[in-house]
Amino acid sequence: MKLIAAQILAVPGEVEKNIARHIDVIHLAASQGANLLLFPELSLTGYEPGLADVLAVHPSDSRFDEFQALSDRYGMLIAVGAPTKGTKGTEISMITFQPGLERTTYSKQLLHADELPFFTPGTQKLVLSQANFVLAPAICYESLQPSHAEQAAESGAQVYLASVAKSERGVASAYSHYPMIAKKHSMTVMMANCIGAADNYVAAGRSAIWNSDGEIVCGADAFQEALVAYDIQTGEAGIFSLA
């Protein structure tokens, strides 16, 4: 299975523009043979907690129908980030599209303290299956909590999908933590981070993939939009510029 993490620059608050960019990236990922494409946290709106309540969507939003059509066309799992309308408030969610299946939604269960004024935590665990691999979603802060990775491993996950919006400091923590959990749980870990302005900081890119031995197989820089690709079966890895 070929995994691709999309490192992109979102336009804050501009959902339609971000949808168009996602569609372009999906076509490019398909040209590289992707079976799975992971976008950063809140990729459809940008990481802007102050705007999230106004921008919150329902996962069934018809604006996302093209993602399903492309998933069906390319046989690809596509995971995008968006604020969604939960029963108790706005949630930070990963909406996934799989060939011939209903879209599914996972909402971040462990929120950072800075997020609590804007978001409510999700309550449902989720694992996905694609190309005979079991996948576990994780969204930014919770992906750095050992308990979250342990639960993913207990659920049989072979791939840990870390969709993030991390600063330079957060990326440094990720580069320390992800190799450890990859090796400990024999899970491939992929991190899709954004670049550019995000809330009150600058997102620091460096999207990367670690194999199940905890070795980094490829990683992007901190500034450029890029696709980070890794084929689990062959070990082939590469970085493709989106410039």
Considering its fold, how many domains does the chain have in total?
1
- Write out pLDDT tens, residues 9-54: 999 999 999 999 999 999 999 999 999 999 999 999 999 999 999 9
| Helix (H), strand (E) at residue 180 | helix 168-185
User: CA–CA separation, 160 vs 158, rounded Å?
Assistant: 7
Strands 208-210, 201-204: pairing is unpaired
Give φ, ψ of 229 to 5 degrees.
Answer: -120, 145
Model pTM score: 0.97
Task: Specify the 3-state DSSP secondary structure of 71.
Answer: helix
Q: Rounded mean pLDDT of the chain?
A: 96
What's the domain range around 34?
A: 2-241
CATH number for the domain that contains residue 147 = 3.60.110.10
The alpha carbons of the chain give a radius of gyration, in whole angstroms, of 16
**What does the pLDDT average to over 140-157?**
96
- Write out pLDDT tens, residues 66-109: 999 999 999 999 999 999 999 999 999 999 999 999 999 999 99
Query: For residues 142 and 108, is the Cβ–Cβ distance under 8 A?
Result: yes
Place 140 in a pLDDT band, splitting at 50, 70 and 90: very high
